[in-house]
Amino acid sequence: MKKYAIINGPNLNRLGKRQPEIYGYETIVDLEAYLKKEGESLGVELTFFQSNHEGELIEKYAELADNRIDGVVFNHGGLTHTSVALRDALSGTDLPVVEVHISNIYNREEFRHLSLTASIAKGIISGLGFYGYVCALRYLVGESKEA
């Protein structure tokens, strides 16, 4: 069975509480339940990880690469715009990845328009809420079937 990781960065553990006018009222638990159902329908296994700490995210990518996961859907939150270290860690894994943002980062503050990980991702989905994660997962699963 193919295995995919869903990685969420800083503040995503606060979904439903932090700025619900931007991110909605659903929680990270809701997101994971939603994606588990999608994973089951696609016949794939999902693993979830969230951290507010850059170093933990970096270590997680190394672990996923060493365990030969089939792909990653990630949302680095604010680290998307600032962390060269995360970009380098992810780039060094050679894993197929899709970047996701719940809100439309291009319809927000200008500093959010820059993604340091965009150039290493297969694609970026921004502004579709939780459904963006589903689209990213479906893409990765479909791509692995073609390979």
4, 61, 76, 101: the active-site residue: 101
Contact 122, 99 (CB under 8 A): no
Annotation marks residue 53 as catalytic: no
Distance CA 98, CA 119 (A): 11
The DSSP line for 80-141 is: GGT-HHHHHHHHTTT--EEEEESS-GGGS-GGGG--TTGGGSSEEEESSTTHHHHHHHHHHH
Annotation marks residue 34 as catalytic: no
Contact 137, 117 (CB under 8 A): no
CA 101 to chain centre: 8
23, 61, 76, 133: the active-site residue: 23
> Two tokens at 99?
């970047």
Question: Would you please indicate which residues are annotated as catalytic (active-site) residues?
Answer: 23, 101
